[in-house]
Amino acid sequence: MVTTNENAVSAFDQYVDALTEVIGHMDRAEPLRDYCTGLMMPVARKSVEPLAAVTAPARVSAKHQSLLHFVGQAPWSDEALMRRVQDWVLPRMIERGGPITAWIIDDTGFPKKGQHSVGVARQYCGQLGKQDNCQVAVSLTIANEGASLPVAWRLYLPEIWLDDAERRRKAKIPDEVVFQTKPQIAMDQVRSALAAQTPVGIVLADAGYGADGQFRQGLTDLGLTYSVGVQPTVSLWRPGEGPMPPKTWSGKGRPPKLVQRSKAHKPLSAKALAKDLPADAWTTIAWREGSNVELVSRFAAVRLRVASRDYNLTQPRAEEWFLVEWPEGDEEPSKYWLSTLPATTTLHELVSATKMRWRIERDYRDLKQEFGLGHYEGRGWRGFHHHASLCIAAYGFLISERETIPPSGFAFTWNREETPVPRGSRSLGHTDTARTPHLEFDRNAA
């Protein structure tokens, strides 16, 4: 009888073979396998040297050089690898969890002490919750009811890096890389996902992206629906209101075309408008189970028009949802969103869709804690992205194999003695049976 463990090893062999097809040369197959294997092992620090030690204890130095070249210098395509990961994982995600329902955009920081790692600067670091020395990367994740998978990953480069020719040279930043804001990077990722015919879901993002009017408009222009955070200062018209029509033409000069406002007819801030909503506008909703308790808060939603800089427009903006969270007992609302979900969407549906953004926090946590996403110690552009792509590839394999969420429901252990190298390695070149760990999966782990 074939055991669960044997099935998992066979799947891993097939998975590595599929990834090998897009990385260029067969001599990269072994380091690809070893790097992904090491990332899934219980190693405290998942930088190149510890991965070499755990995957080839009998020849650490040679393996270290092999992995170092593979991740830091080999010119394989991160985009091609991540597309192949998506091609492998997506059908399994859909089979187990249903259709893709959300595209989640976010960024995450990696604290750094030095000044030489590519992209490092004093900037906001979500991991620390404050401004500090760090790198920041932007990602796009697809999600359904059962799982989520990052499908795009790009380092954000502060302008001080792109304006410094010597820094660019040392970090080997490609010439075609120019300064982009985080929302601009995210829009590029969205366009690439559409071009790759990735199944579409509602776009979710926090106020770091949703506060950018061009970002929201860009999503609409691409035919995408969104539910994104905004700042409490965003300018909104009251429900049922909008800007006044253009001034009446006097008969001289060009006819006025731009909508207008006045001292008596003007918009409110999101915060002020939320505080003016009547008491019966608020509903207590539980949106998901937390680790110990059901997550519950008060929400209200109204249809209205965004007013920000609409005096430069010839027509009022279309109506959309304004969603607000105001926890019971708090002095003021805590979060605000704008959403282009249909007008027929219920409040429960609106909250449920919007709150799916929490999935990215789980992905970042697991990628960092379990797969060493922030452990790469090289300083260059290529190595930073290669390491992240391989972490996501390892994460993707476990997503494709597990049958329950969250990731803690799919544990894995390693055994060096029970069996030799996974069987599929015989087709990928030389096998060192003394160094390759055996994958052993426990689907019933808590």
Closest CA to 273 of 228, 318, 240, 309: 240
The pLDDT assigned to 244 comes to 78
The pLDDT assigned to 8 comes to 61
**Residue 438 pLDDT level (bands cut at 50, 70, 90):** very low
Evaluate if residue 346 carries a pLDDT over 60: yes
The pLDDT assigned to 419 comes to 27
Q: What is the gyration radius of the CA atoms in the chain, in angstroms?
A: 25
Provide the b/e sequence for 136-165 (b: ≥16 CB within 10 Å): bbbbbbbbbebbbbbbbbbbbbeeebbeee
pLDDT one-digit tens code per residue, 375-432:
999 999 999 999 999 999 999 999 998 753 344 333 344 333 332 333 232 223 333 3
Evaluate if residue 277 carries a pLDDT over 70: yes
pLDDT one-digit tens code per residue, 177-233:
999 999 999 999 999 999 999 999 999 999 999 999 999 999 999 999 999 999 999
Indicate the pairing of strand 202-205 with strand 226-229: parallel
Could you give the percent of the chain with pLDDT greater than 70? 87
C-alpha 299/C-alpha 285 separation (Å) is: 7
The pLDDT assigned to 3 comes to 43
Evaluate if residue 344 carries a pLDDT over 80: yes
The pLDDT assigned to 155 comes to 97
**Residue 5 pLDDT level (bands cut at 50, 70, 90):** low
* pTM for the structure as a whole: 0.86
The pLDDT assigned to 355 comes to 95
